[in-house]
A and B are shown apart, each in its own frame.
Chain A
Amino acid sequence: MATEINKQLGDNVFLTTIDAAASWARANSLWPMPFATACCGIELMSTAASKHDLSRFGSEVMRFTPRQCDLMIVAGRVVMKMIPVLQRIWLQMPEPKWCISMGACACSGGVFDTYAVVQGIDRFLPVDIYIPGCPPRPEQLIKAIMDLQDKIKKTGTYDAREFKLRILPDGPKRFDEDELVRIRERNGFKLDEPKYDPIH
Chain B
Amino acid sequence: MTAATNMKEVLESKLGGVSLVWSAFRDQNRVAVPASHIAAALQTLRDAGMDQLVDITAVDMLEYPGATDRFEVVYLLLNTTSGERLTVKTHVNEPELKLPSACPVWFGADWLEREVYDMFGIVFEGHPNFKRLLLPDAFESFPLRKDYPVKGRGERHNFPIITRAES
Contact = CB atoms under 8 A, between A and B. Distances in A.
Interface in B148-165: 148-165
Nearest to A166: B164
A87 B159 contact: yes
Contacts of A116: 135, 143, 152, 155-156
Task: Identify whether the interface residues of B are mostly helix, strand, loop, or mixed.
Answer: loop
B94 interface: no
A87 B161 CA distance: 9
A15 interface: no
Name the residue in B153, B154, B155, B164 with the highest tally of chain A Cβ atoms < 10 Å from its Cβ.
B164
Contact of A115 (B136, B146, B149, B161): B149
B147 interface: yes
B152 A114 contact: yes
Interface string B118-159: 000000000000000001100001010011111111111111
B19 interface: no
Contacts of A199: 149, 153-154
B61 to A, nearest CB: 15
Interface size range of chain A in the complex: 20 to 34
B156 A167 contact: no
B149 A167 contact: no
A151 interface: no
Nearest to A109: B156
A87 B150 contact: no
Nearest to A81: B136
Contact of A124 (B141, B143, B161): B161
Contacts of B5: none
A100 to B, nearest CB: 15
B151 A114 contact: yes
Given A116-B143, A166-B164, A84 B159 contact: yes
Given A114-B151, A163-B164, A167-B164, A81 B157 contact: no
Closest 3 CB pairs of A and B: A115-B152, A200-B151, A163-B164
Interface of B: 135-136, 141, 143, 146-165, 167
